[in-house]
C-alpha cells in the first residue's frame, strides 16, 4: 500500500502550484477601480434594475439588449441565438496575435422573486446597504466601504461576474493594457430554467464555441471568502413521492383510528431513507461515487475549515454527517426534501378531515460517477422494498387503492449527471495565479455544490474547463435579499483583468 | 369472575328494549309526507339557498331571520340571543297538559366552501341529483325516488334535521295529531366556529334551557343506514408541531449533506408516534380511557358490520388497527395529522433550497376519561423523550437554534373533553321506539365520532341527554358535494313526529 505517501506528494504539488501563483494581480487595475467606483456602480445599478426572472420572456430579452449594447460599446462583436425570447448573447473580442481564446460562460437570468420578502429594497430596485442601513451612493464622497453590500435579484447570481468582467475590460482599455487572449463571452438567459436555448445554440453551431480554455463564472466562493476554482459541478435528479391511502378526505371524527393516515405513512417511508445523522439508507446510494483522487483530497485538506462560522451564521447546532467535512460532502450525492405537503399545507384553510394523500418533493444532487436514472431507480426500489406498490407518473385507480394497503405514486423528472475534471489541468496554473490576491491562494474545490453548464464544455466540446466563483457565499442566492459584497466585485475585476492578460501555460 | 355472564345479560336487555320499541311510527305522517313532497322540498331549497358559512356574520344572521319566521309561522315563540351576529335562535312551543319538555339542539351554520370543487351545483344553489344527473323538481310528477340526493352546503350538516323537524310539526299540525310535549328548539349559528354565543347564552340564562330530555340532532347515522342514537361525543385537542433546523432556507447544492433536513427530522419524530398498524406509541396515550360497560359492549356487538362496504366505498385497502371494529375505535383517542408542510407545500413555487423548518398540524379526538391538557402534555413529553428541546407557542431564538440540534416548537390550543352517558337512560326507550322504523331498531352508538355540544346538556345542565343521527353517513360532511339522501329526510320526519308524541317513560 503506497497510499500514505500520496497526501505528502499532493501537498507538494499544491505548494508548488501556489508558489507559481505569485505576483498575479495586474498593476493599475485596483487604482483605476478606486478612482471609478461611482461609475462602475452606476452602470451595475442599471443592469440590476432590469427584471430578469427566467421565463418572463420580455423582461429577460430586455436584459439581452442591454448586454448587446454594453459589450458592443467595448469593441466586442455581439451575436444572438435566433430565439424569440431569452436569447443566448455571444460577445466575441479579437486581439492581434492572441495567445489563444478564452471562453467565459455567465448567465443573466434570475430566480423568481417575492418582493414582500425583501428587507432593504424591492428585488429590481437595487440599493447599497451598510451597517446602518440603506446608503444613497450620491452621498458617498470617499471610497465605498468594501463590506457594504448591493441588494438586488441577481446581484450575485449571476450578474455579479458580468459587472466584474465589464469593469475589468474597462480598466484594461483605459489603462491601455492590451488583452492577450481572444474572448468569447457566452451569456445564457435561461440558466435558472434549464438553458434550452443555450443547448440548442451549442448543438447547432459548436464551432462558435471553440476555445483553448472555458471558464464558468457562476457559483459562490468558499465561505473562507477566498476566490474559488472548481473542477466540476453536481448533477441533479428529483422525484415526487405521493402516498395514497383513500379516494378522498375522511372526517377525522367519524373515521379517525380507522382511515389510514397518509402523513404518518409518508413519515415512516421517509424515515426509512435517511438515518438520524443524515446518512442515506437506500441500498447502493453511494456505490457509484467516483472516489476523490489523492490530489483532490489534498486540495480538500488545504482548505480553511469554516464550519463553526457557518453553523453560527446559519443557526445550525449540528450538521448532517458531522464526521465528514463540508467540502468533502459536496462529493457525495444528497437526498433532500425540498417541499412536503398534506392537505395543501399549513396555510390552506384548516379542515377536520384526514387527507387522502401526502407528498414530498425529493431532490438529489449527484456527483461524478452517478447515473441520474439509476439513482432514481434506487429510490423507487427502496420504496418497493418497504412493501409499497409503486405506480409511475399517474394517479392510482380506485381498484389499486382498494387492493394495495401501501400505495405510492412516484413522478420522475429527467435528471442531469454531474461532472468533475482533474485538478491537474495545465491551464489551471495561470487561472490560479490570476485568482491569487494579496498573497492568498484560491481554494481548489473538486465539486461545486450547485449545478450549471460545465459538462457542456468539458465533455461536450472537450475543452479544458475550470469554474471560477467570485461572489460571496452568503449572497442569499435564489432567496430574498440576494446581495453582492462590494469587495467581491472589486476582487472579481482584478482577477478577471489578470486572466485576460495571463501567460500561455 | 362473573364477566362471561354480562354479555348474555346485556343482550337480554337490548332485546327487551327492542321488543318495547314496536309500533312506534306515527300513523298518517308517511302518507302526509308522500302527498306533500314538493312543498317540503320547496321550503328546504329556500333554507339551503341562504349561505351560512360560520363567521360570515351577515350571511349567518339571514339564516337566523329565516328560522325565526319559519318557527313563528308554526306557533312557536321565538327569541334570540342578544348577539349582533349569528345569534342563538330559541324556538319554544307549549301544549296543554304537556308530558314534559323536550329540548332539541341543532345548528344552522356550515363549514367553508370552495365552489369550484362542487360537482353538481354551487354550494348555495341546491339541486336534486339522481343516477342520471341533476333533476328539476318541477318535472317530477310521481313520488321522488328516496335514493335521490339533495346537494348543498349543510344539506345534511345540520340543516337536514331542521327540515325534518319543521316537516314533522307540519304533518302533525295538519293531521291534527297534538304534540304531547313542550318543545324548546335551540338553533346554534356557530357550531362550526366554536359555539361561543351559545355557550354565553346558556351560561347567562340556564333556566331557559330547562327540560326533561335533551336531544342533539347532529352527526351522521351509522353506515348501515339505520337511525342512530348516540350517548356521547368525542372531545378534541390539537397542537401544531414545527421542527426547526436553521435560521433560513439553505441552497440544496451548496449545503446539501450538511444542512439538517427538517422534513426528515419531522418524519422521524412522527414515525416514533404511531406504528405501522396505526396504534399510537406515545406513553400513556390510552391509559385514561373509560372502558366500555358490558351494555355498551353488547350494543357494539349488536351493530351491523359495515367495514367491507366502507373500504370498498372509500378506496381503502386496510384500515388502521384492523383487529378492532370501527365502532369500538370511536371509543379510543385518535392521533391524526390534518395538515403537513415544508416550504409552503407542493403548490408553492419550487425552490432549490433546504427549508429551515417543517410542520404538522396534529389533531386528537378524545374519548370519555381523557383530559385534553394532559393528553397534549403526553405528546409534548414524547417529543422531549426523542431528544428534542421543546419551546411552547413562540418562535425559537437564534441562540436556541445554535444550541439544540433537535428543536421543536409546539403550539397548543385549548381542547375540549369528551363525554359519554350510560345507555340505560329511562328516557331512551321512548326515543329508541320512535327511531324504530319498519321493524328496524336503531343503532346504539356509545360515542359519536364527531364533536358537538352534548356535555353542555348532560353535564352542564344535568339533563338526560341523547344524540339522534338522522342523515346519511356518506353525506360528504365538511367537504365539497355535501348531500342529503331523500330517504333520510323522510325517515327523519317520521322519527321526530313520533318523538313529539312519545309516551312519558
B61 neighbors B86 (Cβ within 8 angstroms): yes
A461-500 residues touching B, CB cutoff 8 A: 473, 477-479
Express each pLDDT in A243-256 by its tens digit. 999 999 999 999 99
Q: Among A17-21, A265-269, B231-235, which is the least confidently predicted range?
A: A17-21
Find chain B residues with C-beta within 8 A of A267's C-beta.
266-271
| Tens of pLDDT, residues B403-436 | 999 999 999 999 999 999 999 888 888 999 999 9
- Chain B contacts of A257, Cβ < 8 Å? 278, 320-321, 324, 329-330, 332, 334
Q: Which helix (H) or strand (E) holds A419?
A: strand A419-420
Substitution target from B315, B397, B403, B477 for chain A, most A beta carbons within 10 A: B315
- Chain B CB contacts of A112 under 8 Å are 349
Average pLDDT estimate for A170-194 = 96
Q: Does B422 touch chain A (CB under 8 A)?
A: no
**Is the distance from CB of A188 to CB of A106 less than 8 angstroms?**
yes
Nearest to B432 by CA among B4, B12, B9, B17: B17
Produce one character per residue of A289-298: b if its CB has 16 or more CB atoms within 10 Å, e if not: beebbbbbbb
Per-residue pLDDT tens digits for A130-161? 999 999 999 999 899 999 999 999 999 999 99
Q: Where are the beta strands (DSSP E) in B279-356?
A: 336-342, 353-354
Interface check B116 vs A, CB under 8 A: no
CA distances to A36, A213, B427, B439, B488 from B226, rounded to whole Å, are 87, 81, 20, 11, 9
* Residues A305, A293: Cα–Cα separation, whole Å: 20
- CA gap A146, B278 in Å, rounded: 59
Please state whether beta strands A77-80 and A89-93 pair in parallel, antiparallel, or not at all (unpaired).
antiparallel
Q: Rounding to the nearest 10 degrees, give the CA dihedral for residues B341, B347, B348, B350.
A: 100
Query: How confident is the model over A425-465, as pLDDT tens digits?
Result: 888 889 999 999 988 899 999 999 988 999 999 999 999 99
pLDDT band at B478 (very low <50, low <70, confident <90, very high): confident
Q: What is the pLDDT of residues B117-134, one digit of tens each?
A: 999 999 999 999 999 999
CB-CB: which of A253, A307, A473 is closest to B450?
A253
Per-residue pLDDT at B12 exceeds 70:
no
Q: Which of A99-103, B83-87, B337-341 has the lowest mean pLDDT?
A: B83-87
Helix (H) or strand (E) holding A499: helix A486-500
pLDDT at A2 over 50: no
The alpha carbon of A353 is separated from its chain's Cα centroid by a whole number of angstroms, namely 41
Q: Which residues pair with A213 in a beta bridge?
A: A102
Question: Closest residue of A to B233, CA-based?
Answer: A253
> Tens of pLDDT along B241-276?
999 999 999 999 999 999 999 999 999 999 999 999
Torsion of CA A245, A246, A250, A254, to 10 degrees: -80
Average pLDDT, chain A: 93
Tell me which chain A residues have a C-beta less than 8 angstroms from the C-beta of B352.
Answer: 338, 363, 478
DSSP string, A456-481: IIIIIS---EEEEE-B-TTS-TTSTT
Q: Residue A157: its pLDDT value, please?
A: 96
Interface test with B, best of A241, A264, A313 (most B CBs within 10 A): A264
DSSP secondary structure string, B454-489? -HIIIIIS---EEEEE-B-TTS-TTSTT-EEEHHHH
For residue A25, what pLDDT is reported?
65
| Element holding B358 (H helix, E strand) | strand B357-366
CB atoms within 10 A of CB A322: 12
A311-359: per-residue pLDDT in tens? 999 999 999 999 999 999 999 999 999 999 999 999 988 888 999 999 9
- What pLDDT sits at residue B142? 87
Q: Are A251 and B477 in contact (CB under 8 A)?
A: yes
Query: What was the pLDDT predicted at B2?
Result: 36
Whether residue A10 is predicted with pLDDT greater than 70 in this model: the reply is: no
- Pick the residue of A114, A249, A267 with the most B CBs within 10 A to test the interface with B by mutation: A267
Predicted confidence (pLDDT) per residue in A488-498, tens digit: 999 999 999 99
A13 has a pLDDT exceeding 70: no
pTM for this one? 0.90
Asked if residue A417 has pLDDT above 50, the reply is yes
Res. B35: pLDDT tops 80: yes
pLDDT per position as a tens digit, A45-69: 999 999 999 888 899 999 999 999 9
Residues 355..374 of B with a Cβ closer than 8 Å to A: which?
355, 358-361, 363, 365
pLDDT of residue A477: 86
Q: How confident is the model at residue B439 (pLDDT cuts 50, 70, 90)?
A: confident
Residue A425: the pLDDT is 85
Is residue A52 less than 8 Å (CB to CB) from chain B?
no
ipTM for this model: 0.90
pLDDT in tens, A258-298: 999 999 999 999 999 999 999 999 999 999 999 999 999 99
First to last CA, chain A: 34
Of A29-33, A419-423, B15-19, B200-204, give the lowest mean pLDDT range: B15-19
- Of residues A89, A90, A91, A83, the one with CA closest to residue A57: A83
pLDDT at A208: 97
Of the candidates A329, A334, A411, the one whose C-alpha atom is nearest the C-alpha of residue A366 is A334
**Span B278-290, average pLDDT:** 98
The pLDDT mean for chain B works out to 93
Q: How many CB pairs under 8 A join A and B?
A: 300
Amino acid at each position: 500500500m503506497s497510499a500514505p505517501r500520496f497526501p505528502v506528494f499532493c501537498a507538494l504539488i499544491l505548494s508548488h502550484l501556489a508558489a507559481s501563483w505569485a505576483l498575479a494581480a495586474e498593476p493599475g487595475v485596483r487604482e483605476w477601480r478606486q478612482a471609478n467606483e461611482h461609475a462602475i456602480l452606476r452602470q451595475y445599478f442599471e443592469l440590476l434594475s432590469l427584471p430578469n426572472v427566467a421565463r418572463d420572456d420580455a423582461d429577460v430579452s430586455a436584459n439581452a439588449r442591454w448586454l448587446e449594447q454594453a459589450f458592443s460599446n467595448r469593441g466586442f462583436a455581439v451575436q444572438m441565438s435566433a430565439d424569440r425570447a431569452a436569447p443566448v448573447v455571444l460577445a466575441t473580442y479579437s486581439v492581434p496575435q492572441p495567445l489563444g481564446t478564452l471562453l467565459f460562460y455567465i448567465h443573466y437570468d434570475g430566480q423568481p422573486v417575492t418582493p414582500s420578502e425583501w428587507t432593504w429594497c424591492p428585488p429590481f430596485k437595487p440599493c447599497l446597504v451598510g451597517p446602518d442601513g440603506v446608503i444613497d451612493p450620491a452621498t458617498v464622497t470617499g471610497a465605498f466601504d468594501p463590506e457594504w453590500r448591493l441588494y438586488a435579484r441577481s446581484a450575485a447570481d449571476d450578474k455579479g461576474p458580468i459587472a466584474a468582467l465589464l469593469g475589468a475590460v474597462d480598466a484594461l482599455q483605459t489603462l491601455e493594457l492590451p488583452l492577450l487572449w481572444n474572448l468569447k463571452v457566452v451569456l445564457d438567459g435561461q440558466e435558472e430554467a434549464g438553458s434550452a436555448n443555450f443547448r440548442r445554440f451549442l448543438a447547432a453551431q459548436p464551432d462558435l464555441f471553440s476555445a483553448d480554455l472555458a471558464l464558468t463564472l457562476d457559483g459562490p466562493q468558499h465561505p473562507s471568502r477566498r476566490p474559488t476554482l472548481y473542477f466540476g459541478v453536481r448533477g441533479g435528479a428529483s422525484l415526487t413521492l405521493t402516498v395514497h391511502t383513500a379516494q378522498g378526505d375522511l372526517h377525522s371524527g367519524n373515521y379517525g383510528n380507522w382511515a389510514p393516515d397518509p402523513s404518518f405513512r409518508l413519515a415512516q417511508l421517509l424515515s426509512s431513507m435517511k438515518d438520524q445523522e443524515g446518512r442515506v439508507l437506500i441500498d447502493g446510494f453511494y456505490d457509484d461515487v467516483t472516489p476523490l483522487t489523492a490530489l483532490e483530497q489534498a486540495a480538500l485538506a488545504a482548505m480553511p475549515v469554516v464550519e463553526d462560522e457557518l453553523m453560527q451564521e446559519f443557526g445550525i447546532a449540528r450538521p448532517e454527517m458531522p464526521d465528514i467535512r463540508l467540502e468533502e460532502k459536496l462529493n457525495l450525492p444528497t437526498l433532500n426534501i425540498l417541499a412536503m405537503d398534506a392537505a395543501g399545507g399549513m396555510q390552506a384553510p384548516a379542515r377536520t378531515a384526514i387527507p387522502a394523500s401526502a407528498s414530498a418533493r425529493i431532490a438529489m444532487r449527484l456527483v461524478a460517477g452517478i447515473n441520474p436514472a439509476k439513482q432514481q431507480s434506487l429510490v423507487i426500489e427502496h420504496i418497493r422494498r418497504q412493501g409499497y406498490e409503486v405506480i409511475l407518473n399517474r394517479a392510482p385507480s380506485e381498484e389499486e387503492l382498494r387492493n394495495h394497503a401501501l400505495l405510492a405514486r412516484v413522478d420522475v423528472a429527467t435528471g442531469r449527471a454531474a461532472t468533475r475534471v482533474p485538478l491537474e489541468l495545465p491551464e489551471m496554473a495561470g487561472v490560479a495565479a490570476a485568482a491569487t490576491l494579496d498573497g492568498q491562494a484560491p481554494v481548489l474545490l473538486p465539486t461545486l455544490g450547485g449545478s450549471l453548464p460545465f459538462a457542456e464544455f468539458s465533455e461536450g466540446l472537450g475543452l479544458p474547463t475550470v469554474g471560477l466563483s467570485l461572489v460571496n457565499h452568503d449572497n442569499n442566492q435564489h432567496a430574498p435579499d440576494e446581495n453582492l459584497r462590494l469587495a467581491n466585485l472589486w476582487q472579481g475585476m482584478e482577477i478577471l483583468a489578470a486572466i485576460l492578460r495571463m501567460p500561455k501555460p
